[in-house]
Amino acid sequence: MSEIKLIYDSLREQADSAIRADELRVDPNLSDKSRDTRRGLTVLLRPAPPVRDAVMNFLAEAAPLEPDQYFYQVDELHTTVLSIITCEADFQLDEIDLAPYIHTIERAAQESSAFAIVYRGVTATPDSVMIQGFPLDEQLEQLRDNIRSSFRESGLFCTIDQRYRMRTAHMTCMRFRTPALNNPERFIELLDHYRSHDFGNSNISEIEFSLNDWYMTASEAKLLRRFSLK
């Protein structure tokens, strides 16, 4: 069993326990995102349109069961490559010189190859629901390492890997707004039904660099640059 699959399975076990105990972790900012001033810089990738459509079909089943929870919109779905500056309160883009950040990511992208991700199955954590992503080779990890190396050499301020080292290729699609669900057993049944569901493949030939809030809200995100992979 792959390391990524083990991570997803471990997270799901934690989520099931939290769901049944009515102890889900709630982000208080989700009740009114207009109060949330956290912003950051992220390198991310977008799944192919058929994958996004398949995820939205899953959410269309989940929403009637748990309408009080938070569901991502189709244009907000993404997989994080690396968080360059983790979202923090009142971060402003004019606090940094953007040009060297773009140059540093561009240099890493030029040294990285295109790759594919299979999105198969659903997992969860005590605070969210995620689509499981499985890279078909080592190129995503190589891209991440190239970006890490480029930033180490640049001396630019960043917070890469400060929260945790990114290893998976998941796509968050739902977050919990209440510590207890309306019908926890039915929701777990839905997660089980989609445990191995095939959401499709995405061939990734470009990545995005974005200013964003914690949830990649479409109205708050600002695309700074796209980079092609070789």
What is the tens place of the pLDDT at every residue in 63-113? 999 999 999 999 999 999 999 999 999 899 999 999 999 999 999 999 999
Would you give the distance in Å from CA 85 to the centre of its chain? 15
In angstroms, rounded to a whole number, what is the distance separating the alpha carbons of residues 45 and 169?
A: 10
Q: How open is the CA angle 173-86-157, to the nearest 5 degrees?
A: 150
Find residue 41's DSSP bridge partners: 85, 211
In angstroms, rounded to a whole number, what is the distance separating the alpha carbons of residues 227 and 98?
A: 15
Question: Where does the pLDDT of residue 119 fall: very low under 50, low under 70, confident under 90, or very high at 90 and above?
Answer: very high
| Residue 104 CB neighbours (<10 A) | 21
Cα→Cα distances 138→92, 114, 204, Å? 34, 11, 13
Strand segments, DSSP code E, in the chain are 38-45, 70-71, 79-89, 115-125, 128-135, 171-175, 198-204, 206-212, 222-228
CATH class as words, domain 3-28+36-228: alpha beta
Is the pLDDT at 172 greater than 80? The verdict is yes
Burial class (CB in 10 A: 0-12, 13-18, 19+), 12: buried
Domains of the chain, residue spans = 3-28+36-228
Strand pairing class (222-228; 206-212): antiparallel
Q: At what angle do helices 98-110 and 139-154 cross, to 10 degrees?
A: 140
State the pLDDT at residue 163.
79
Structure tokens at 4: 């990524």
Task: Name the residue among 211, 193, 203 with its Cα closest to residue 228.
Answer: 203
Model-level pTM? Answer: 0.95
In angstroms, rounded to a whole number, what is the distance separating the alpha carbons of residues 37 and 85?
A: 14
Chain mean pLDDT for the chain: 96
